[in-house]
Structure 1
Amino acid sequence: MTSFMRSYMRFVDAINYRLGRCIMYGIFVMVGILLWSSISKTFFLPSLWTLEMAQFAMVAYYILGGPYSMQMQANVRMDLLYGGWPAKKKMWMDSFTIVFLLFYLGVMLYGGIDSTMYSLQYGERSPTAWRPYLWPIKIAMCVGIALMILQCISELMKDILRLGGEEV
């Protein structure tokens, strides 16, 4: 069982690390879109697509970057109590609370898949003047939530191994 857990953690961590390192540069995509928006509003006719495209890029940036930030322990925590606890107590609390996170992400993924299927089936478009299809960003959201679930399971396995006295 331990060898399965270790291979699972290596596989999921490698995927989320590589994807996170690529997605990290998405900030430059957003800056470029918003820069073009400013330039076009100042010197040309305003573009219809820039603000909505920047929103889509931002959603992809934080949804697909979430598993990487969890892996790097860069996620936001409420350190009022947690920060002063010993490492073993933190691992127990993380193991307990991650179950609730997995439930929440499971519900989000279920709703996301349902919404994505609807969007693909009916060709759902945004109600703005630009009217882009919504399925690409919905697929990105479902992929990001699924990767977050996989990363949560990896973190849970790490805590279980550490609580058992093994080196991770």
Structure 2
Amino acid sequence: MALSRAIDKLNDRIAAVVAWALLAAVLVCAGNALIRYSLNTSSNAWLEIQWYLFAAVFMLAAPHTLRRDEHVRIDVVVGRFSRRTQVWIDLFGFFLFLLPICLVILYYGIPFGLQSLRSAEMSSNSGGLIVWPAKILVPLGFALMILQGLSEIIKRIEYLRGRLDESAFTKQAPTPQQEIEAIRQANRID
């Protein structure tokens, strides 16, 4: 569990930093649009910074999303099974899909990013930026996803062994039904 907690903490910290990248991307996007429409000028560099920031948000926040159990799921089908069966389905998915796909992408992504870094690859757009930071995000994001996948596997195995409560890996956000009930309760009080 110590390894799982360390991985969770790492991805939580990265997600907190990435939240600022999202704010920066929104500000760059808004600023670029304002300048483009008010002054009739723009730069490809600003567009590329925006893309890089969105890529960073997507690639580096995905492991945190997995940690919070907020990835797209087929809860309509899986929700009908017992919690123990759901955990077995999660383990099956992690071992059969998540880890192999992430390992393949990491295997091909590392040379992809390193080649771009070694050649100091530049964007082909006029006024474009260096490309390697965006390409390095691919192996970095998938390495973090592999780590988070391992953390989730550890937590589910510990749950099956009776050593961990399911709240350690289930979504903590209220369900739509809980939100509706909370609204109803609030309206009854008023």
Same fold (TM over 0.5): yes
Deviations 1:108-139 (A, max 9, x none): 11111010111122222222122311111122
Matched, 1:47 2:48: no
Normalising by structure 2, we get a TM-score of 0.81
Which structure 2 residue ranges, 5 or more long, are not aligned?
166-190
Alpha-carbon separation, structure 2, partners of 1:153 and 1:130: 41
Matched, 1:93 2:89: yes
AA partner of residue 68 (structure 2): M
| Percent identity over paired residues | 29
Alpha-carbon separation, structure 2, partners of 1:141 and 1:9: 23
Q: Greater shift after overlay, 79-88 or 155-164?
A: 79-88
In our comparison, the structure showing a higher alpha carbon Rg is 2
Normalising by structure 1, we get a TM-score of 0.91
Aligned-residue offset at 1:30: 1.2
For the aligned residue pairs, the C-alpha RMSD in angstroms reads 1.3
8 Å CA contact 1:67, 1:148 repeated in 2: yes
What is aligned with 2:5? 10
Deviations 1:4-43 (A, max 9, x none): xx11011101111111122123221111111111111123
Q: How many residues end up aligned between the 2 structures? A: 163
Matched ranges for 1:12-161 at <5 A? 12-44=7-39, 45-99=41-95, 100-161=97-158
Alpha-carbon separation, structure 1, partners of 2:164 and 2:29: 45
Alpha-carbon separation, structure 1, partners of 2:140 and 2:69: 21
Over 3 Å off, 4+ runs: none
Which structure 1 residue ranges, 5 or more long, are not aligned?
1-5
